[in-house]
């Protein structure tokens, strides 16, 4: 029951193919897909055809390549705007990244894992969004810990069980007991650090975005690398982060989020 995915039915396969195209990152030819997919030729072919005339993929007859289609783009926007925090937080994130000159991440907790929903990189503007949309572990990232710290005990127990504590670096907190202690410190301090716990050389300072009743609805972090900044440098921005988090929470509260908070 660890990693489930019996790829049920046709729909599952179709989505796998869709993801294959999406993952490739650029227009792909049929045979390229064939080589990485384990479907027989004809099956893959029909799957691609189905997705294509569903507008989820786009087939360029000229070059014979497949790329993501309009319908997916439309769904994309629905998904993004309904992942709720991203559009609300966007102006605040912009402001933060301008004020600090560092990379800002916006994340949400999903099934015990961290889902990055937006990213703003002040310095190298082009590559933004490169990593947004990714899912990461909660126990060894700044945003993850910041959110966990404000989970109610009941939910926390559940979520801790979902963590697969892997020691990414020497600093990774790799046991539930140690993590609980860290969470208590974070709760007391008001914000969390990532001391190269996930990737060597990458540090961050993160705060939770809390609803009126104190439930974590997201996380906000400022990230840098050890050769550019120290934890103390990042900590100087902590109040700006907290401030922004508060404003985002306010906006979210007033906009919508009726139930589920």
* Opening angle at CA 150, ends 147 and 151, nearest 5: 90
Which residue, 7 or 184, is less far from DNA as judged by CB?
7
Instruction: Check residue 137 and report its DSSP letter.
Output: -
Identify the helix (H) or strand (E) that includes residue 253.
Answer: helix 238-255
Query: Judged by CB under 8 A, does residue 53 bind its own copies?
Result: yes
Which residue, 14 or 95, is less far from DNA as judged by CB?
14
Query: Judged by CB under 8 A, does residue 184 bind its own copies?
Result: no
Radius of gyration for the chain, computed over Cα atoms and rounded to the nearest angstrom: 20
Q: Among DNA, its own copies, none, what does residue 132 contact (CB within 5–8 Å per kind)?
A: its own copies
Question: What is the Cα–Cα distance from 108 to 249, expressed in whole angstroms?
Answer: 13
Query: Judged by CB under 8 A, does residue 22 bind its own copies?
Result: yes
Question: What is the Cα–Cα distance from 197 to 246, expressed in whole angstroms?
Answer: 26
Query: Judged by CB under 8 A, does residue 23 bind its own copies?
Result: yes
Q: Which residue has the tokens 């982060």?
A: 241
Cβ atoms of residues 96 and 240 within 8 Å:
yes
Query: Judged by CB under 8 A, does residue 261 bind its own copies?
Result: no
Which residue, 41 or 77, is less far from DNA as judged by CB?
41
**Which residues make up the interface to DNA (CB under 7 A)?**
8-11, 13, 29-31, 34, 39-43, 45-47, 50, 64
Cβ atoms of residues 37 and 19 within 8 Å:
no
Which residue ranges make up the site for its own copies (CB under 8 A)? 4, 8-12, 14-15, 18-19, 22-23, 25-27, 47, 50-51, 53-54, 56, 60, 63, 67-68, 70-83, 87-88, 90-91, 94, 110-111, 115, 117, 125-126, 128-130, 132-135, 251, 255-256, 259-260
């Amino acid at each position: 029951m660890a990693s489930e995915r019996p790829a049920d039915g046709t729909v599952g396969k179709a989505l796998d193919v869709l993801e294959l195209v999406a993952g490739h990152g650029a227009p792909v030819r049929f045979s390229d897909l064939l080589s990485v997919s384990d479907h027989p030729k004809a099956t893959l072919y029909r799957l691609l055809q189905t997705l294509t005339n569903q507008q989820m993929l786009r087939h360029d007859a000229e070059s014979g390549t497949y790329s993501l289609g309009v319908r997916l783009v439309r769904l994309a926007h629905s998904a993004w705007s309904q992942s709720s925090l991203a559009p609300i937080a966007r102006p605040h994130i912009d402001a933060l990244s301008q004020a600090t000159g560092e990379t800002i991440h916006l994340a949400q907790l999903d099934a015990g894992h961290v889902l990055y929903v937006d990213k703003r990189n002040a310095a190298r503007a082009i590559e933004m969004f490169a990593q947004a949309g990714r899912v990461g572990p909660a126990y060894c990232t700044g945003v993850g810990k910041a959110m966990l710290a404000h989970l109610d005990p009941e939910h926390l127990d559940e979520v801790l069980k979902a963590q697969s504590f892997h020691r990414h670096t020497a600093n990774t907190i790799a046991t539930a007991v140690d993590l609980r202690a860290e969470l208590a410190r974070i709760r007391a301090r008001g914000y969390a650090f990532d001391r190269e716990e996930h990737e060597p050389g990458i540090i961050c300072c993160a705060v939770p975005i809390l609803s009126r009743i104190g439930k974590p609805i997201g996380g906000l972090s400022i990230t840098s690398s050890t050769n550019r900044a120290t934890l103390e440098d990042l900590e100087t921005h902590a109040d700006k982060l907290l401030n922004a988090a508060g404003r985002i929470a306010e906006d979210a509260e007033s906009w919508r989020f009726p139930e589920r908070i």
